[in-house]
């Protein structure tokens, strides 16, 4: 579909790839290979069998477009993928051992979590970058007086450092929650048809633990989570809160960039923020991307939450709705952070105008407490 | 991004193309060409100038990938596109006349509405197909007794015809609303920098009317709708209600397909609805796609609604959030209808089992009123 | 529950009463009385029987608190209410005729629609008031130049009249949709246990039509709408769009009231908009109420949409979620309109400051097209 | 407003009181008293002054109705409340010391957090009760075979114990998140006009710490959180996930209670779950309440998230939207748990029917792994 209207505004090539077709197919193949390897370690397959399965997984042509059509027809990607693997293996007896004890959702959920792990890393990197930029901004502007504004009206003096510290604390909180929820959610899925790990000689738990190690996912919880989606919901909500925390910053910067206030501006980037018709304009394009993402995230989080009451052992419609929505959240939040980081790093701050606006307000200039509060905040987090 | 997890489950190649990159660029070029043509008709350009602009629009290489990157950088697609058109023209004086009096959002909103028009036609076609299938089903099953179920408990006798008539009336209502809201929303956008149509010798209204005729959009409302998004919101809500109406049908069919009830099944399609592990399973894959779409639509509608309070003459973040969300709604709803139509057309109904289940309930078998109601309903809509 | 935090901020005593306990009980009693009257007209009851039932309905003590507890226990209000009516009647034979052929949801949905009818009237009244105020504002300010602002940056000249006309057109569109969706949704519910109107000697349709006339609801559609909730969803969406249209106005006014812009202010009302700590502040309290409502409405609309796939003949959980959410929407939207109307009627506009801000922008002052557009808009709607 | 349609279905008197008017006014008065006491400890007031303020707070008549009207007019409750306190004190000099250094939002946010603390305790109590019931159920049913169902179709054998263990793990996860997010969110708000704690002789931090101790809220974070709403959003999301986890259980129970499956039923409670028309019906009324809450929670969470980008030092519309929405979430979640606990405690399980349904499916009866998995799950959490 349209990269112009769907992916690029706020998306990043890296995150689009992380949740892209190739990544998904590769993750599913990694799931199947790890399953065979773990089954070999548990004595259910020979080492040779596992190796041959691993090779088949490694060598399967990706043919994403065809797979996509077959998946759409079958209702799940695992079915055509496993069929192709089996055909590729060219050994009917061994072919039956592929995907042994697993169900489509095992592969799909595990692949999603492997995608989410890449996504987590990408977002964590940008969160750190935004935090660094904000800490520097708070430090640099610790004593820069400006008028505080409440309910969109001039209130009393603050400093820009205090405002930046507030932004930073908001990101800190969102980053901590995101790390914690990722930790909880990024788990292997392996339960078989109805989540019992039946048919594996009682070695299901051992196999699952081994697979998790191979794939680098959290040591699996005892019971598969096919219809227990709190982890996914927690992750989605954490992403939504990151979006909100970035949106708050973009809201402030765009308001403070209004011509009548003019206290700060996004860094000037050739070819960015222009108008197709007004040469004088300098649009807050970075803030626009962030605010657009913050507008879109809440509805996506609500979708994941509303999908939670999934039927019985594996649900119908609810979990199938999650993947694209979680992918959208990762793409939007990464895009928001990628747009915000350079805005903060290169923010043009007009401290003289800040001082002037404060003076114009005529309600004092005492900023002692604001300075102290900023310093205390920066110290507390260091 | 992933066609596997984002587009195909429930998407259709046609709708993905309708909201695809090429379509968007072509629609924007059509906007620019129609603008020149209308300006020529109004005497602002010569016929030759308009022709040369039209040719440049027709011949511009689409280069979607590069354009997407440039658009992401610029913050809008119109800027790089107009630059390319101007370069392609190779006539500096005339180049300035391209996009004359228009702003980026004029081109973007008009392109979105042209995409939505194709989307509207695709959805209308499938709605009609679903309506036909439902009417036939209601007719055919008018006198087929079954147990009515309320609060998920057996209640009193109904007929399957009455249930199908109810489904049909729900789709009828949703289809009417969708047609009406499309009618209202599919309007040209042409207002210039701040929606005044300034700089066009007072001929803005005339030019707008002419452009609308060329592009086949609704005769433009008097005042451009840059920050007046009720039409888009109404269209989004109408799509959400179509999704809900299809979801209601899929909910019922999937419940009635439970093994213990077994009154109906999706048609058997080779390779569809299977399980990667359980040969005996026959999953309601069509219902799954519909229910997944119905789960996702409400959050998307909420996003469009929450974006409505857009700032001043053209907003920041709000309208930029709309395009991908509206596109998602079209894709999801079309996918739901495409999945539902064959389910209804080929639905396997086990009227004997229906009768047996009704008898087992032991609460009578009188269906006279249900039959009469169904007939009245079918008659009222014919 | 708290009137302080739930009802009053943005609520109105009238709308709270419209959706209050007494109103609900009275509407349910009206439903039961109209049912008896219509059954008498159809020859199923004698006139005397219907009269005695009507008297019992009229005389039943409301005892709302006790009824509420009983309803919470029973899972529906109709059950304890009908029990009380039967006891009050003191005639066992006739008592059985009360609620004859009806189900709890018949009474509940009809009562909700009767509440919604009052709500519709209240909202229509305030919409008209807002429209009058906006038309007057657009007329009065037709030629008042101001800077147009896009993406929160100064763009090109407009007039305040054009901005007000845009606000007005947004309300016009929302008001039309609200009227239309109300018209469609405000229908009697009467279907009996599973929507067949069984047990009424085939006179169900006749009785339903008569009840609708008595209660002043739309002539009933042929088939009861127990699990066909598109009408409710359409009404909810229309309310959400009214909220968005008011939110757009409040967004603009609050931004234009910023001290650095100072082009307009909410009317000064003694005791309103003050700060508990800053004597100089003049908070845009009316806009605050409107924006708060516009923030809350989208999630409520999404809830109604997500409840649409209701199970079988009458659902579990979905329709029970609708009543309080629809009530909230009516309360919020009425509150928003009640807050907005006096803001618009008494808006303090500083045209000199507008002119000064425009001059400061230094990008021309030509407003000819804006004036013409405003006049055309006002003319087109008159 | 209506207790019938808004509060009681799923609400509880305790939670309604916790977020009731009286509680809010009392919490605000506690805020003012604690402020004076902390200021006395910091040497800004004499002990006598603080005592007199505390007495005024303790003795102020609550007059909730009048206060509500005044608050609606003023735009905030703090303003009329502080005025009344000052008048009640009858000492103009001391009156000025009331609310010294605080802003309306300080009192409002602190009161909300005090309400949330009560709410947290009420919910924690019911969560524990649900967990106990589920653990007992999983234990008791550890070896009860039943058919596992996926995509609403019969799959392979599981045990009811494993299903109950899955429900339990979902609640465990939701309960942990809720406890953690409550811990983080339940903080004092005290920042003064623009969050700097100015005008307190540099003793703001000391006073805030003291107030937090008095009020029993978390030791305050360094910087006030007026426009940094991640904590509130995290709490809301955690409540939404509890709702989803309960909804999953109710979905399953209601499906398993269908007459054709009949494997379990809500406990029979005289006067509950009946039909107003069908004597034979036994409606899953507890599940209905839970599912209704799970339907409503996601939209409320989305509202809180969408309100996060609040303007500058204290926002307009966004934070004012939070209070009623957070209150709704507490009421809904408590109601869901209160409805669910007795259902689980008294659940009628028909193990013979389970075994029969499993046998009918004809796909084996091996439950060894399910039993082992259940035991491992119960052991892991003990």
Flag if C309 and B248 touch (Cβ within 8 Å).
yes
Distance CA A283, CA D23 (A): 47
CB count within 10 Å of CB A371 equals 18
Looking at residue B164, its pLDDT comes to: 98
Mean pLDDT is lowest, of A298-307, B167-176, C27-36, D275-284, for D275-284
Please write the tens of the pLDDT for every residue from B15-59: 999 998 899 999 999 999 999 999 999 999 999 999 999 999 999
Annotated catalytic residue within C52, C177, C229, C314: C314
Distance from CA of D150 to the nearest CA of B (A): 8
Count of Cβ atoms closer than 10 Å to residue C90 Cβ = 10
Confidence of residue D3 (pLDDT cuts 50, 70, 90): low
Residues of A in contact with B69 (CB under 8 A): 8
Average pLDDT value for residue range B61-70: 86
Q: Report CB contact under 8 Å: D234, A177.
A: yes
Closest partner residue to D312 among A197, A240, A252, by Cβ?
Answer: A252
Asked if D221 and B220 count as a contact pair (C-beta separation under 8 A), the reply is no
Q: B83 falls in which pLDDT band (50, 70, 90)?
A: very high
What is the pLDDT, as a whole number, of residue B65? 83
User: Cβ contacts (< 8 Å) between D301 and chain A: which residues?
Assistant: 237, 298, 301-302, 305
The pLDDT of C123-129, averaged and rounded, is 98
- Closest-CA residue of C relative to B253 is C312
Instruction: Please give the residue of chain A at the shortest CA–CA distance from C307.
Output: A306
**Which of C135, C151, C169 has the highest number of chain B CBs within 10 A, making it the mutation to test binding with B?**
C151
- Which residues in chain B are contacts of D281 at CB distance < 8 A? 150-151, 153-155
- The percent of residues above 70 in pLDDT, for chain B, comes to 96
What is the least distance, in Å, from the CA of B126 to any CA of chain A? 18
- Among partner residues B153, B281, B288, which is closest to D259 by beta-carbon distance? B153
Burial class of residue C382, CB neighbours in 10 A (0-12, 13-18, 19+): exposed
Mean pLDDT of chain B: 93
Which of B20, B79, B250 is the closest to A276 by Cβ?
B79
Compute the nearest-CA separation of A227 from chain D (Å).
Answer: 8
- The tens digit of pLDDT for each residue in C154-181 reads 999 999 999 999 999 999 999 999 999 9
| Residue of chain A minimizing CA distance to C357 | A260
pLDDT at B7 over 60: no
Known catalytic residues of A? Answer: 275, 314
Mean pLDDT (whole number) for C102-124: 97
pLDDT of B202 strictly over 70 = yes
A3/B65 touch (CB, cutoff 8 Å), yes or no = yes
Q: Judge whether residue B1 has pLDDT over 50.
A: no
Give the span between the Cα atoms of D88 and A338, in whole angstroms. Answer: 55
Mean pLDDT over C352-362 rounds to 96
Q: What is the DSSP string of C90-107?
A: T-HHHHTTTTTT--HHHH
Say what the pLDDT of residue A281 is. Answer: 76
Does the distance separating the beta carbons of D292 and C320 come in below 8 Å? yes
Spell out which residues of chain C touch residue D68, defining contact as CB-CB under 8 Å.
Answer: 3-4, 7-8
Residue B162 and residue C315: Cβ atoms within 8 Å?
A: no
Contacts of C260 in chain A (CB under 8 A): 258, 260-261, 357
The pLDDT of residue D111 is above 70:
yes
Which helix H or strand E contains C149, and what residues bound it? Answer: strand C145-150
Residue A275, phi then psi, degrees to nearest 5: -115, 150
Residue A76 pLDDT greater than 90, yes or no: no
Q: Is D179 exposed, middle or buried (0-12, 13-18, 19+ CB in 10 A)?
A: middle
Cα–Cα distance, D53 to D42 (Å, whole number): 16
pLDDT digits (tens, 9 = 90+) for A107-129: 999 999 999 999 999 999 999 99
Inter-chain Cβ pairs, chain A and chain D, closer than 8 A: 295
CA separation for the pair B375, A183 (Å, rounded): 58
Residue A204's closest CA among A188, A184, A217? A188
| pLDDT (0 to 100) of residue C4 | 60
Nearest CA in chain B to A300: B299
d(CA A213, CA A215): 6
A265-274, D55-64, D176-185: the lowest-pLDDT one: A265-274
| CB pair distance less than 8 Å for C244 and B305 | yes
Residues of D with CB under 8 A from a CB of B: 149-156, 254-255, 257-261, 275, 278, 280-284, 288, 298-299, 302, 306, 357, 361, 363
Q: Quickly tell me which residue has 């194709």 as its tokens.
A: B118
Give A63's pLDDT tier (boundaries 50, 70, 90). confident
Confidence at residue C1, expressed as pLDDT on a 0 to 100 scale = 45
Strands C264-265 and B264-265: unpaired
What's the pLDDT score for residue C5?
58
The predicted structure's pLDDT at residue B6: 56
D140 is catalytic: no
- Catalytic residue set of B: 275, 314
Q: How far apart are CA B244 and CA B293, in angstroms?
A: 9
The residue assigned the tokens 């303007």 is D311
Given the residues D219, D268, D275, D306, the one annotated as active site: D275
- Average pLDDT value for chain C: 93
Residues D84, D86, D197, D314: which is the catalytic one? D314
Contact D1 C8 (CB under 8 A): no
Q: D150, D155, D259: best mutation site toward chain B, by most B Cβ within 10 Å?
A: D259
Number of cross-chain residue pairs from B and C with Cβ atoms under 8 Å apart: 294
**Residue B274 reports pLDDT greater than 80:** no
Interchain pair D153, B363: CB under 8 A? no
C216: how many CB neighbours lie within 10 A of its CB? 12
Residue D260, Cβ neighbours under 10 Å: how many? 17
Which one of A152, A174, A377 has the shortest CB-CB distance to D316? A152
CA separation for the pair D79, D70 (Å, rounded): 9
The active-site residue out of C6, C176, C180, C275 is: C275
Query: Which pLDDT score is estimated for A158?
Result: 98
Between helices B21-41 and B64-74, what is the axis angle to 10°?
80
Residues D222-239 have pLDDT tens digits of 899 999 999 999 999 999
**pLDDT of the residue at B62:** 85
A198, A202, A206, A208 alpha-carbon torsion, rounded to 10°:
0
Chain B neighbors of A32, CB-CB under 8 A? none
Instruction: From chain B, pick out residues whose CB is under 8 angstroms from the CB of A78.
Output: 276
Reading the block at residue A33, the tokens are 């290979």
Mean pLDDT computed over D111-127: 98
Chain D residues with CB-CB distance to B361 below 8 A: 259
Phi and psi at residue B20, in whole multiples of 5°? -85, 175
Which pLDDT value is given to residue D76?
86
Which DSSP string corresponds to A357-377?
Answer: HHHHHTS----HHHHHHHHHH
> Which among C146, C150, C151 is the top mutation candidate for probing chain A, defined by the most A β-carbons within 10 Å of its own β-carbon?
C151
In this prediction, residue D1 has a pLDDT band, given cuts at 50, 70 and 90, of very low
CA distance A40 to chain C (A): 46
List the single best residue of A7, A8, A64 to mutate versus B (max B Cβ within 10 A).
A8
pLDDT tens column, C327-343: 999 999 999 999 999 99
pLDDT at A1 over 60: no
For B47, counting Cβ atoms within 10 Å of its Cβ (0-12 exposed, 13-18 middle, 19+ buried), the class is exposed
Average pLDDT, chain D: 93
**Of residues B4, B104, B287, nearest to A71 (C-beta):** B4
Residue C276 has pLDDT above 80, yes or no: no
Residue range C177-196: average pLDDT? 96
Distance (Å) of CA B25 to CA B59, B99, B111, B327: 12, 14, 8, 15
d(CA C238, CA B233): 9
For chains A and B, CB pairs below 8 A equal 259
Higher-confidence position of D149 and D12: D149
Distance from CA of A262 to the nearest CA of B (A): 17
Exposed (0-12), middle (13-18) or buried (19+): which is A270, by Cβ within 10 Å? Answer: exposed
Among A129, A102, C31, C246, CA closest to B277? A102
Chains that touch D (3 or more CB pairs under 8 A): A, B, C
Rounded to whole angstroms, the Cα distance separating C237 from B242 reads: 13
pTM: 0.97
Question: What is d(CA B66, CA A323) in angstroms, rounded to the nearest whole number?
Answer: 28
Give the CA-trace dihedral at C40, C46, C51, C53, to 10 degrees. -80
- C-beta neighbour count of D105 within 10 angstroms: 29
* Chain D residues whose beta carbon lies within 8 Å of the beta carbon of residue B260: 258, 260-261, 357
Q: How far apart are the CA of A134 and the nearest CA of chain D, in angstroms?
A: 15
Nearest-CA residue of chain B relative to A14? Answer: B1
pLDDT at D145: 98
The chain D residue lying nearest A248, using CA atoms, is D309
Nearest chain D CA: its distance from B353 CA (Å): 12
């Amino acid at each position: 579909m349209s990269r112009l209207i769907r992916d690029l505004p706020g998306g990043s090539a890296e995150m689009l790839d992380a949740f892209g077709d190739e990544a998904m197919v590769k993750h599913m193949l990694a799931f199947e290979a790890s399953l065979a390897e773990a089954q070999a370690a548990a004595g259910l397959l020979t080492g040779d069998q596992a190796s041959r399965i691993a090779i088949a997984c490694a060598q399967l042509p990706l043919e994403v477009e065809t797979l996509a059509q077959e998946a759409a027809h079958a209702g799940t990607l695992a079915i055509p993928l496993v069929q192709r693997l089996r055909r590729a293996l060219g050994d009917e007896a061994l072919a039956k051992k592929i995907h042994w004890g697993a169900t489509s959702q095992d592969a799909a959920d595990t692949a999603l979590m492997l995608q989410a792990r890449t996504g987590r890393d990408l977002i964590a990197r940008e969160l750190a970058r935004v935090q660094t930029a904000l800490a520097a901004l708070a430090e640099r502007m610790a004593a820069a007086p400006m008028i505080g504004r409440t309910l969109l009206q001039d209130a009393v003096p603050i400093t820009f450092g205090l405002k930046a510290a507030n932004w930073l604390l908001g990101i800190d909180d969102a980053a901590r929650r995101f790390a914690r929820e990722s930790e909880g959610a990024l788990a292997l899925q392996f339960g078989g048809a109805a989540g019992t790990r039946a048919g594996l000689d009682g070695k299901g738990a051992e196999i699952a633990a081994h697979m998790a190690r191979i794939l680098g996912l959290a040591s699996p919880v005892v019971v598969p989570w096919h219809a227990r989606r709190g982890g996914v919901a927690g992750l989605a909500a954490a992403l939504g809160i990151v979006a909100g925390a970035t949106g708050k910053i973009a809201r402030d910067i765009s308001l403070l960039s209004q011509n009548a206030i003019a206290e700060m501006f996004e860094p000037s980037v050739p070819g960015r923020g222009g108008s197709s018709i007004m040469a004088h304009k300098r649009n807050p394009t970075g803030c626009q991307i962030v605010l657009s993402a913050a507008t879109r995230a809440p509805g996506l989080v609500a979708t994941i939450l509303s999908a939670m009451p999934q039927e019985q052992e594996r649900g119908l419609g609810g979990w199938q709705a999650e993947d694209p929505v979680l992918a959208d959240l990762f793409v939007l939040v990464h895009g928001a952070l990628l747009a915000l980081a350079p805005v903060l790093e290169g923010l043009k701050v007009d401290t003289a105008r800040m001082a002037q606006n404060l003076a114009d307000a005529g309600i004092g200039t005492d900023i002692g407490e604001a300075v102290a509060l900023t310093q205390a905040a920066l110290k507390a987090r260091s």
